[in-house]
C-alpha cells in the first residue's frame, strides 16, 4: 500500500509538472495582451498553442519560442482584429482552460465563423480533393442536395489548380448524423464522379472521416498529400502584391536549420506555417515572430525528430515549396461575398449555380449554419482567375437578394507603431527579426548565439 501510494503521488507530481501553465498579462505591454505558455516539451506543442489563439480570431503581433532541453516556453503578444487588448473574460478564461486543446475543443473549434465555434458532433465529415474547375462546387452541392444531405459546415480551399474541401453534412429529414453505410457509399461514389469530371480520373478522392480533427489543419494535410505545392495553376490567378518569401539555411555549428518566412501579415499566418512544419515532421526549438507595418517576419530554428537538420538540397527546396504553398492556400483571391439568410434545403446548390451561370469561380468558401441561419463567405473571380466585373457581381446580388448577399472588404489588421526605427533596424538578413521581449528573452537569445549583446 505504501509503495502504491508513493507511485500515485509520483504520478500526480509528473502530471503537475507536465501540465501546461498559461499566464495572461494585460499590464506588461501597452498595446497588446501577453500570453505566456510553459510546458514540458513534446512534438506539436507549439502548434497547439498557436491553434488555440488563432481559432479565436486573435492576431499574433509578436512571439518568442524556446524549447531547448525538456521545457517549452512561448510568449505571444496578441490583440483582437481591431488591434485592442483582450478584455472579454470569456475569451481569457477559454485560453486559460483549453490549453492544451482537448478532443472536444478541437472539435468545437474546428471551424469558426464570425467568432463563433461550431459543434460537429452530430454530423458526418466528407473529405474531397481533386482538380479545380469552374462550377465544380456547384455540382458538389447539387449532389448533396439531391441525396437529401444538409450542409452544416464546410470549408473549401483552392490552390494551383487543386481543390480540397471538408464538408460536414446531416440527414436533411432527421437532422441527424448520416450513419447508413449504403447511403454513405452512394454519396462517396457520386461525389467522386463529380470530382473526376473528364480529366481527373486518378487523383480525385472522396472519403468519410470519423476522426475528430481540426478543420484547417486537415485541409493543409489534404493539400499537402495532394502535392499541390508541386503543381502549376490551371487558371491565371489574381496577382498578389505580397508573395511569400521563404529561405532555408543550415546553421552547422549549432545543428539547426534556419527557416525564414516573409509575407503580408494576416490572421492565421503563423498557424499555417507552424502547421506545415509540424506535419512535415520538424520540431521547432526556437522561433521569433514580428510584424512591421503590414509585413510578417517569422524565423524558426528546426530539426528533424531524430535531432538532425535538413540534409540535402532537394529537402531544402521541398521545405521552401511547402511553406510557400501553406501561406498561399489561404490567400484571399477575388471578391469577398457574404451570404446571410434563412437556411433551406438546396440553398448552397442554388447560390453556387447562380455563380457558375454568371461566370464566377469560387476560389475559397466558408459555409456555416447557426440556428437555422446560413452565414456563408465566398471568394469569387472571373473564369480566368482575374477580378470579377462589378456589374456581374451586382447582377448576381440582385438574383440572390441584395439584402442577403453583400460585398465585403477583406478585414484589415490594425497595427500599432512601437519604436519604428528600432523595429526597422531589427530586420536583418533574409528578413530575420529578433524580438525584444524583456531582458530574460534577450539573454536567452544571446546564450543561443542569436544576438551579439543583450545589454
430-441 pLDDT per residue, tens:
333 333 333 444
pLDDT score, position 5: 56
pLDDT score, position 201: 66
Is the pLDDT at 303 greater than 60, yes or no? yes
Q: H/E element holding 156?
A: strand 149-159
320-355 pLDDT per residue, tens:
999 999 999 987 678 999 999 999 999 999 999 999
C-alpha cell recorded at residue 374: 446560413
Name residue 37's beta-bridge partners: 22, 74
Please, what are the domains in the chain? 21-101+241-323+419-455 (no CATH), 117-214+222-236+332-408 (3.30.70.260)
Q: For a pLDDT cut of 70, what percent of the chain falls above it?
A: 77
Cβ atoms of residues 397 and 407 within 8 Å: yes
17-26 pLDDT per residue, tens:
556 789 999 9
pLDDT score, position 429: 31
Q: Which carries the bigger pLDDT value, residue 389 or residue 442?
A: 389
Residue pointed to by grid coordinates 530586420 = 427
Q: What's the average model confidence in pLDDT over 8-22?
A: 61
Other Cβ atoms less than 10 A from the Cβ of 30: the count is 9
Among 60-74, 385-399, 417-431, the minimum mean pLDDT is found in 417-431
C-alpha cell recorded at residue 298: 517569422
Select, from the ranges 78-82, 144-148, 193-197, 208-212, the one with the highest average predicted confidence (pLDDT): 144-148
Amino acid at each position: 500500500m505504501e509503495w502504491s501510494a508513493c507511485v500515485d503521488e509520483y504520478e500526480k507530481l509528473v502530471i503537475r509538472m507536465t501540465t501546461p501553465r498559461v499566464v495572461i498579462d494585460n499590464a506588461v505591454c501597452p498595446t497588446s495582451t501577453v500570453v505566456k505558455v510553459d510546458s514540458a516539451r513534446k512534438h506539436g506543442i507549439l502548434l497547439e498553442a498557436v491553434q488555440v489563439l488563432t481559432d479565436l480570431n486573435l492576431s499574433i503581433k509578436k512571439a518568442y519560442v524556446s524549447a531547448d532541453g525538456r521545457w517549452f516556453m512561448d510568449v505571444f503578444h496578441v490583440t483582437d482584429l481591431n488591434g485592442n487588448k483582450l478584455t472579454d473574460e470569456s475569451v481569457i478564461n477559454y485560453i486559460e482552460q483549453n490549453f492544451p486543446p482537448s478532443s472536444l475543443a478541437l472539435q468545437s473549434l474546428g471551424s469558426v465563423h464570425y467568432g463563433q465555434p461550431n459543434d460537429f458532433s452530430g454530423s458526418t465529415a466528407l473529405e474531397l480533393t481533386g482538380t479545380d474547375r469552374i462550377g465544380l462546387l456547384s455540382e458538389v452541392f447539387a449532389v448533396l442536395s439531391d441525396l437529401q444531405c444538409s450542409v452544416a459546415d464546410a470549408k473549401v480551399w483552392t490552390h494551383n489548380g487543386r481543390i480540397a474541401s471538408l464538408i460536414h453534412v446531416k440527414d436533411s429529414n432527421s437532422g441527424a448524423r448520416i450513419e447508413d453505410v449504403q447511403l454513405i457509399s452512394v454519396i462517396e461514389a457520386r461525389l467522386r464522379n463529380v470530382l473526376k469530371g473528364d480529366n481527373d480520373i486518378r487523383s480525385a478522392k472522396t472519403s468519410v472521416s470519423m476522426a475528430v480533427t481540426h478543420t484547417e489543419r486537415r485541409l493543409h494535410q489534404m493539400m499537402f498529400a495532394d502535392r499541390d505545392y508541386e503543381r502549376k495553376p490551371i487558371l491565371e490567378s489574381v496577382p498578389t502584391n505580397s508573395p511569400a518569401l521563404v529561405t532555408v539555411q543550415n546553421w552547422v555549428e549549432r545543428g539547426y536549420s534556419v527557416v525564414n518566412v516573409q509575407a503580408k501579415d494576416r490572421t492565421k499566418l503563423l498557424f499555417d506555417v507552424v502547421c506545415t512544419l509540424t506535419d512535415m515532421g520538424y520540431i521547432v526549438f526556437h522561433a521569433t515572430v514580428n510584424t512591421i507595418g503590414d509585413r510578417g517576419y517569422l524565423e524558426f530554428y528546426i530539426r528533424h525528430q531524430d535531432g538532425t537538420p535538413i540534409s540535402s538540397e532537394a529537402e531544402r527546396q521541398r521545405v521552401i515549396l511547402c511553406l510557400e504553398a501553406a501561406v498561399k492556400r489561404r490567400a484571399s483571391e477575388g471578391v469577398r461575398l457574404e451570404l446571410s439568410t434563412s437556411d433551406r434545403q438546396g440553398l448552397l446548390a442554388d447560390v453556387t449555380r447562380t455563380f457558375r451561370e454568371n461566370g464566377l469561380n469560387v476560389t475559397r468558401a466558408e459555409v456555416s449554419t447557426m440556428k437555422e441561419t446560413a452565414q456563408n463567405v465566398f471568394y469569387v473571380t472571373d473564369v480566368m482567375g482575374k477580378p470579377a466585373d462589378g456589374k456581374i457581381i451586382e447582377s448576381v446580388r440582385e438574383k440572390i437578394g441584395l439584402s442577403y448577399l453583400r460585398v465585403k472588404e477583406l478585414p484589415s489588421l490594425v497595427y500599432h507603431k512601437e519604436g519604428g526605427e528600432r523595429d526597422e533596424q531589427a530586420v536583418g538578413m533574409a528578413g530575420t527579426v529578433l524580438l525584444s521581449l524583456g531582458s530574460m528573452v534577450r539573454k536567452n537569445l544571446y546564450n543561443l548565439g542569436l544576438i551579439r549583446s543583450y545589454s
